[in-house]
């Protein structure tokens, strides 16, 4: 793209900032060529199934896995913080009548500054504590507003619950089966952090202005709402339901590709191989199936993956389109019995850990993010009275 001003110089524009390195981070490495995701030096496959989501959140915020004392302190802090401010609950009760999903989550998140006298502080330790509070409150917003919209009373959290167990309890009002808690925990770990994606970048831009963590979190949620970034697991589940049986997969996939439609749950901006998070969630779904005995959706998902990779290689050679996290996210969230309308809000619950870690890192950097642009519009325009225009 070129500008045609007096200098008549040509400027190359990196549309979507593709290929631009905008931050140096200690938090995560996303290796698209090898299909590796590393969190603070740990390959995510080395963490999955071994740690709770709270441990991963601590790792992202502090740079190391917690000791037993640090873990207990974090869990106590998050347990205390899970109750929402009364003013926010009252507002959400009203808002839930006319908004749902990511809309009401965005509005709810913006109210989490209520009762925080130091919300504008840029102190790192203060914001590490604030991150834990926000992480505890986002699941409460999702669960409470879902029940409010259904005309059900909210379920107050129990102090002894961890985040995954507490979310399911607040959502349903009864103790969830441990297999469901383990499945949701595995999902939250898998989606907790993924480098400088659109929503994470949005949060860092907001914090770079010396704004506060709550404002940045609200902005990140707004970015996640867009279907080019979030919102895919719901359509994935719909696709699986339409296919129905493994033997129907090839005809369905071929028809969709030939019609020019995207196959949900495949392809990624970064990964040129299979998304490593897909494998982690597939393994977690397999463990759940062993406990529940329900393997139908797991068999269907694996058949759809195998068939889609084969057909894409035939019809779109060289495109490197493989399963991404959303394919198996739909499977495990459905197995955990999370309502499909909450799939993207559940993603936001997990990603809050990574978002806030990046916001803290940006506070430490202290540099305003302000890219340049090149003007390509008209020049030399002259004002004319309104009667002479057009």
Per-residue pLDDT of the chain (390 residues; tens, 9 = 90+): 444 444 446 788 988 898 889 999 999 999 988 889 999 999 999 998 899 999 999 999 999 999 999 999 999 999 999 999 999 999 999 999 999 999 999 999 999 999 999 999 999 999 999 999 999 999 999 999 999 999 999 999 999 999 999 999 999 999 999 999 999 999 999 999 999 999 999 999 999 999 999 999 999 999 999 888 875 567 888 899 999 999 999 999 999 999 988 888 887 777 777 888 888 888 888 888 887 777 888 899 999 999 999 998 899 888 878 888 888 888 899 889 999 899 999 999 999 999 999 999 999 999 999 999 999 999 999 999 999 998
Q: Copy the structure tokens of residue 296.
A: 């139908």
Q: Is 268 tagged catalytic?
A: yes
Q: Span 233-334: which CATH code?
A: 1.10.230.10
Q: CB–CB of 223/52 below 8 Å?
A: no
Q: Copy the structure tokens of residue 137.
A: 């409150």
Hunting for tokens 């719901």 — which residue is that?
234
**Cα dihedral: 70, 75, 81, 84 (round 10):** 150
Tally DSSP H helices, then E strands, for the chain.
16, 3
Say if 36-229+340-365 and 233-334 have the same CATH topology. Answer: no
Active-site annotation holder among 54, 193, 256, 326: 326
Q: Copy the structure tokens of residue 300.
A: 């269907």
Active-site annotation holder among 268, 279, 305, 361: 268
pTM above 0.85, yes or no: yes
Q: Is 194 tagged catalytic?
A: no
Please tell me the class of the 36-229+340-365 domain. Answer: mainly alpha
Cα 61 to Cα 19, 203, 308, 333: the distances in Å are: 27, 15, 38, 26
Taking the CB of residue 45, how many other CB atoms lie within 10 A of it?
A: 16
5-11: long-range contacts (C-beta < 8 A, 24 or more apart)? 5/375, 5/379, 11/374
Q: What is the DSSP letter of 119?
A: T
**Domain definitions of the chain by residue range:** 36-229+340-365, 233-334
Q: Copy the structure tokens of residue 272.
A: 């040129």
C-alpha closest to that of 265 among 288, 220, 235, 286? 235
């Amino acid at each position: 793209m070129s500008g045609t001003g007096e200098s008549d110089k040509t400027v190359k524009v990196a549309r979507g900032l593709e290929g631009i390195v905008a931050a140096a981070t200690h938090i995560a490495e996303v290796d698209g060529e090898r299909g590796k995701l590393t969190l603070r030096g740990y390959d995510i496959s080395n963490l999955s199934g071994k740690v709770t989501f709270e441990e991963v959140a601590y790792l992202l915020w502090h740079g190391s896995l917690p000791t037993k004392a640090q873990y207990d302190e974090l869990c106590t802090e998050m347990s205390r913080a899970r109750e929402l401010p009364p003013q926010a609950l009252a507002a959400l009760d009203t808002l839930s009548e006319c908004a749902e999903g990511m809309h009401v989550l965005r509005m709810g998140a913006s109210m989490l500054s209520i009762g925080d006298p130091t919300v504008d502080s840029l102190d790192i330790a203060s914001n590490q504590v604030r991150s834990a509070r926000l992480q505890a409150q986002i699941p409460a917003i999702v669960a409470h507003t879902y029940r409010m919209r259904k005309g059900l009373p909210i379920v107050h959290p129990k102090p002894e619950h961890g985040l995954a167990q507490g979310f399911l309890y607040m959502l349903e009002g009864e103790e969830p089966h441990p297999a469901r808690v383990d499945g949701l925990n595995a999902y939250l770990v898998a989606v907790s952090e993924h480098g400088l994606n659109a929503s994470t970048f949005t949060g860092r831009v907001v914090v770079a202005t010396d704004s506060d963590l709550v404002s940045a979190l609200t902005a990140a949620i707004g970015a996640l709402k867009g279907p080019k970034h979030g919102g895919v697991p719901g359509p994935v589940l719909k696709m699986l339901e339409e296919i129905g049986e493994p033997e129907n997969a090839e005809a369905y996939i071929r028809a969709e590709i030939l019609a020019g439609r995207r196959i949900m749950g495949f392809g990624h901006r970064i990964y040129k191989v299979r998304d490593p998070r897909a494998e982690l969630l597939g393994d977690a779904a397999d463990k759940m199936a062993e406990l529940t005995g329900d393997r139908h959706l797991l068999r269907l998902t694996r058949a759809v993956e195998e068939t889609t990779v084969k057909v894409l290689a035939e019809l779109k050679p060289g495109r490197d389109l493989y399963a991404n996290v959303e394919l198996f996210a739909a499977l495990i969230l459905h197995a955990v019995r999370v309502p499909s309308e909450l799939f993207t809000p559940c993603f936001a619950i997990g990603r809050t850990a990574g978002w806030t870690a990046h916001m803290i890192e940006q506070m430490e950097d202290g540099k305003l993010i302000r890219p340049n642009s090149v003007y390509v519009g008209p020049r030399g325009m002259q004002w004319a009275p309104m009667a002479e225009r057009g």
